[in-house]
Amino acid sequence: TAQHGTNMASAESDSGAGAAADPRIPVTVITGFLGSGKTTLLNYILTSTKHERKIAVIENEFGEVGVDDALLAANTKEHVAEEIIEMMNGCICCTVRADLVTVLKRLAKRVIDGGLRLDAIVIETTGMADPAPVAQTFFVDPDVEAFARLDGIVTLVDAKHIEAHLDDKKPDGVENEAVEQVAFADRILLNKIDLATEEELARVEGRLQAINRFAPIRRCQRSEVDVDSVLNIRGFDLQ
């Protein structure tokens, strides 16, 4: 993780040049425990007209709370395929019923055929998921690797409840998922800051930095962040 973080830090200065040179579509993986605000962030991406990006949101349907069905119905432009919905703002919402690689290859085919333009892909993982297997997808399948590049892992943290998750005692040999999610992050969004005191926020930030000193921490409420802060962060730029 430390080496990965170093790559991120060294890449920040020349991210613009690197991004322009690599034609592949950047992929952000969003992770965090249930209730941390992932779905709220996805809803914003899928409905906002402020960011003016064509973003494909791939939602892992095994999550307990999915993107709001009513919100999807109100903002759907057309059902392109069974698993792919085009939104009014030009973004795409996909649900993963099968293999993630299958959905990515379907998107790739539509982009290559000229039927779809994409600026970025955002993948949401379930609350208990270790992001590593999702990340590895972009390095093991040659077709996926040719189409998309893993850009970074963004972890949402619930300011009020993260310490309880970090302190959760696990049986021997079982990883603490919250610690894993923080350790893998290229960027941490400390969400729901209105529910915690400044003293609590400072303590939480100290604990997060002790686990991962490379990932910048950004405070937010209701998952309201500039979309640019979670896209094209070049976390996996190995140049």
Give me the pLDDT at residue 84, please: 61
Give me the pLDDT at residue 164, please: 93
Give me the pLDDT at residue 198, please: 97
What is the full per-residue pLDDT of the chain (239 aa) written as tens digits? 444 444 433 334 444 445 557 889 999 999 888 888 888 888 888 887 788 889 888 876 544 444 555 555 555 544 444 456 666 656 667 666 557 888 899 889 989 888 888 999 998 876 666 777 888 888 888 999 999 999 999 999 999 999 999 999 889 888 888 999 999 999 999 999 999 999 999 999 999 999 999 999 999 999 988 888 888 888 876 54
Phi (first) and psi of residue 90, to 5 degrees: 95, -10
What is the spatial distance between Cα 29 and Cα 153, in angstroms, rounded to a whole number? 5
Category of 129 on φ-ψ map: left (φ > 0), alpha (ψ -120 to 50) or beta: beta
What is the spatial distance between Cα 193 and Cα 43, in angstroms, rounded to a whole number? 19
Helix locations, 13-131, DSSP H: 15-21, 38-47, 69-75, 100-112
Give me the pLDDT at residue 135, please: 83
With CA atoms as reference, report the closest residue to 190 among 220, 152, 212: 220
What does the DSSP assignment read for 136-158?
HHHHH-HHHHHHEEEEEEEEEEE
pTM of whole model > 0.85? Answer: no
Give me the pLDDT at residue 86, please: 63
What is the spatial distance between Cα 12 and Cα 237, in angstroms, rounded to a whole number? 9
